Amino acid sequence: MRRSRLILLPMERILLTHPFPPVFDGNSRVLILGSFPSAASRSASFYYGHPRNRFWRVLSLLYGEEVPDDVPGRREFLLAHGIALWDSIGECTIVGSSDASIRDAVPNKISELLEKAPIERIFANGKASFACYEKYVFPETGIHAALLPSTSPANAAWSAERLSEAWRAILPDQLKSKPVSSVME
């Protein structure tokens, strides 16, 4: 019997610029910020392209609708629900898709998006996005982001159902409630 061997090639740190624009329109009330697109998302040319990332599953659970599999359908789904989507980081050096490997981060120009859309609340999908936003963007905008638990497969401690409970904070009926600095508990 032959055994197959998995050969892992060393991954290099590379400098990348965010490869696609934000999703938003004049009806966007909620801005959800990731950190930086994963290799799968960069390949798909759209947000949350890794099949094990639970972002789209969580939105499906929250809104009680199936989320389309195609990019135009996903964009339409977001806009229909008043969701703007972008990433905190516009340029960085990174190894593969690992948020922990991000260095030399340059933030996206989020204040420009805020001038164009009537955003009421900003949410960060995970700690890397939150840290970048609070360090570089908050001083410019004066608007704090609320930290949501990451939908990344690396956050395996949170099931899709548990994530959807925490992510209820993005729903329209929750936006007018008291300010949320973190919904991680």
Tell me which of 2-11, 52-61, 77-86, 168-177 is least confident.
2-11
Report, as residue numbers or ranges, the catalytic residues: 53
Does 13 fall in a domain?
no
- Above 70 in pLDDT, residue 134? yes
Does 63 fall in a domain?
yes
pLDDT grade, residue 136 (50/70/90)? very high
- Above 50 in pLDDT, residue 66? yes
- Above 50 in pLDDT, residue 178? no
> pTM of the predicted model, to two decimals?
0.88
Q: What is the mean pLDDT of residues 75-96?
A: 94
Does 62 fall in a domain?
yes
Q: What integer pLDDT is reported at residue 185 of this predicted model?
A: 45
pLDDT grade, residue 177 (50/70/90)? low
The single-letter code of the amino acid at 111 is S
Yes or no: say if 110 and 88 are a contact pair by the CB < 8 Å rule. Answer: yes
- Above 70 in pLDDT, residue 80? yes
Does 69 fall in a domain?
yes
Does 11 fall in a domain?
no
End-to-end CA distance of the chain: 50
Q: What integer pLDDT is reported at residue 114 of this predicted model?
A: 97
Does 5 fall in a domain?
no
Where in 35-166 does DSSP place strands (E)?
83-87, 89-95, 103-107, 121-125, 146-148
Q: What is the CATH number of the domain that holds 147?
A: 3.40.470.10
Does 169 fall in a domain?
yes
Number of domains in the chain: 1
Yes or no: say if 110 and 139 are a contact pair by the CB < 8 Å rule. Answer: no
Find all residues with CB under 8 Å of 111, minimum gap 6, and list them. 137, 140, 141
pLDDT grade, residue 160 (50/70/90)? very high
Q: In angstroms, rounded to a whole number, what is the distance separating the alpha carbons of residues 51 and 107?
A: 26
Does 17 fall in a domain?
no
Considering only residues 161 and 98, tell me which one the structure prediction assigns the higher pLDDT.
161
Q: What is the mean pLDDT of residues 94-111?
A: 87
Q: What are phi and psi of 134, to 5 degrees?
A: -65, -35
Find all residues with CB under 8 Å of 92, minimum gap 6, and list them. 15, 16, 36, 102, 103, 104, 105, 106
Q: What integer pLDDT is reported at residue 13 of this predicted model?
A: 84
Q: Which domain holds residue 96?
A: 29-173
Q: What integer pLDDT is reported at residue 99 of this predicted model?
A: 73
Provide the percentage of residues in the chain whose pLDDT is more than 70: 89
Find all residues with CB under 8 Å of 148, minimum gap 6, and list them. 32, 123, 124, 125, 126, 166, 167, 169, 170, 183, 184
Q: Is 139 helix (H, G, I), strand (E, B) or coil?
A: helix
Query: What rounded mean pLDDT belongs to the chain?
Result: 89
